[in-house]
Amino acid sequence: MMDIPEMIAVFICLTCLSNVMQVNAQEPMVVLAQGPVKGIQVFSDSRQIINAFLGIPYAAAPIGELRFAPPERHPGWNRTMFSAGRFAPACPQLQESSSMAQVRQEEDCLYLNIWTPETPPNFRRGLPIVILLEGEGFVSGLVSRFPGQDLAAEGVIVVSVSYRLNVFGFFCLEDSEARGNLGLLDQYFALLWVRENIEQFGGDPRSITLMGHSAGAASVMYHITSPRTAGLFHRAIVMSGSVTSPWSRAQHPGNSSRGIARSLGCFATTSRAILSCLRTKSTAEILRAFETQYKNGNWTAMVLPVVDTFLPETEQYLPRDPKEVLQTGNYITMPLLTGTTSHEGAVTLYQWSDLVRQSYLQLRHFFEHSAIPGVMEHYGFGKTEQIREILKWRYPEKAGENSASALLLKLLEFYSDSQFVAPHVRQLELLSHSTEPLFVYKFQQSGPDLYGNTLNISGSAHGSEFLYLFGPTLMMKLSNRRFTPDEERFSKRMKRHWADFIKQGNPNGAGFGLAWQRAKPDNYNCWVLMSELQQQGQPPRCDVGQNAADMWNDLLPRLQQLVDTKSPPEISTTDSRLGSDSSQPFRSAMYTLIGFVAVLLVMLVVCLVLLKRHAKERDRDLF
């Protein structure tokens, strides 16, 4: 029997131990080679406890001599406890929205975030991991927008990665001093970090899915086709972005980078001297120089990823054009889930937020003299008049709808087709020959706009799927409201599809009823993601946009090739009455005639393609 003092002492010890256990429960901790890390606990919308570790550095700060240099290992913090309780600053970028004005930005931005379900002590099997890469056009990105606890509650570990953007991430002078692709190398470094450390968070490094959206999706495809990433991830999710997109790769990296350097007063002739000069400039000065280039709308002069064959073979990250790699199949294939939303082009229109206030004539002028020439240049069509006329014919307003709102919808369709749909279909054509499973979706569920735009465009805009994949927490954060019952059911179903793919490389889990079929070269088996179809139990089928893709990927390039290779014969005649060469009128007439005939031929081909496709769809429906 214990006496009273002993009982009091035991009670005090038990109370202290209980308090310590409560503190430990609220502050999860892991020990890494860099040093110990203390996280926080958050709750998913379903009230499940999730351990969150926010703002862990995965590489040394890219400042000083490391500015415009490849990432290096972080030196660590030894025995000091690193507090990972809040998001790190965003990488420097243009403040294109009011929400970005409230976000702290610093060049010391190479951090990642981890959400992992709290598991019982006897849990020994590692959890599958999904690594998120996001960003728009390799120009901007804000990974702290996406809280990962609701997706982690599905039994996966969620990792999100911040990487260098715009001129800080892709300045390139096409040599070893200024090699470019620094943003991609940041992502690669994060993949290495996850492989080395994720077991400490309860993850299985042999079960990693790389998921990207927009520029992050193109990044995923770059990593798939790079020879350096073998074994770093095992499945891929590619959302609303393609490595075949005209905005995903620099056309003249050296010229655009030197242009930025010259605008900052860095006129040196050697790359080393140029970089030394740039390192003396402030973050704000560099961003202003980039903004001037970006706002000019000259997409071909952007700093973007490059094929780095100019480097020694041992240093190359992208030694071959990714399209060629996909074409030959010379890459490590893996299960892949990919798709687009119904109104992707909205994100391009956000660059011109004042369009909603423009008159019909102003919009028409913008469409014909800015939008069409800009996209033509990005596709390498130059100023070919025949292609310009075809695009004006392909994207007209409906009869009697010559209004600003109707033309705005045509602009939306134009940008969706050219920047997202056609590249997506081209990438599908290349991926569908893989022996690994490929699953295709079209997201058509409407919801609040992720980017808070003022264009008032209904439907599934660029990024809409994030609301349901990271909701309901993201919906509350973005719109300050909860899901409706219909939205909540749809979100749960979508998260289960994604979680099943992350776990097993197949989105068909138990209890779904309908089977999501694999894509084939002759039938992509596109699956519609929309709550109405889910509720009705209909086999969801969708068009990936093949008609638009046929025009952008096949017809227009062939016409450009025809224009480039065929020159009209000169008809030279000398009229004694004029005393000069009178061939010019005949030559001009012949140019006009050839252009008109070419347009008619292409229009005929387009009509035949459409009729053939409709016939196929009708036959398929009959059986």
Q: Which residues are catalytic?
A: 214, 344
Return d(Cα 337, Cα 344) in angstroms, integer.
18
Letter for the amino acid at 226?
S
Is the distance from CB of 154 to CB of 46 less than 8 angstroms? no
Q: Which residues touch 322 (CB under 8 Å, ≥6 apart)? A: 221, 222, 225, 243, 244
Pairwise CA distance, residues 283 & 95, whole Å: 13
Return the exposure string of 499-532: e unless at least 16 CB atoms fall within 10 Å of the residue's CB, then b: bbbbbebbbbeeeeeeebbbbeeeebbbbbbbbe
Q: Identify the DSSP state of 231.
A: T
DSSP string, 440-465: EEEE------TT--SS---S-BTTHH
CA angle 183–448–483, rounded 5-degree value: 110
Phi first, then psi, for residue 247 (nearest 5°) are: -90, 5
Rounded Cα distance between 59 and 353, Å, is: 36
Beta-carbon contacts of residue 286 (< 8 Å; ≥ 6 apart): 92, 167, 168, 260, 264, 278
Q: Among 305, 269, 337, 281, which residue's Cα sits nearest to residue 164?
A: 305
Question: Phi/psi of residue 586, each to 5°?
Answer: -65, -40
Alpha-carbon distance of 223 to 230, in angstroms, equals: 9
Return the H-helix or E-strand segment holding 416: helix 404-416
| 351: DSSP letter | G
Q: What order of strands is seen across the sheet that includes strand 203-213?
A: 40-43, 49-57, 111-117, 157-161, 127-133, 203-213, 235-239, 336-341, 438-443, 527-529
The string of DSSP letters for 33-79 reads SS-EEE-EEEE-TT--EEEEEEEEE-S----GGGTTS--------TT
Round to whole Å and give the CA distance between 310 and 178: 11
H-helix or E-strand spanning residue 236: strand 235-239
Token pair for 446: 């409407």
> What whole-number distance in Å separates Cα of residue 336 and Cα of residue 343?
22
Rounded to whole angstroms, the Cα distance separating 128 from 502 reads: 7
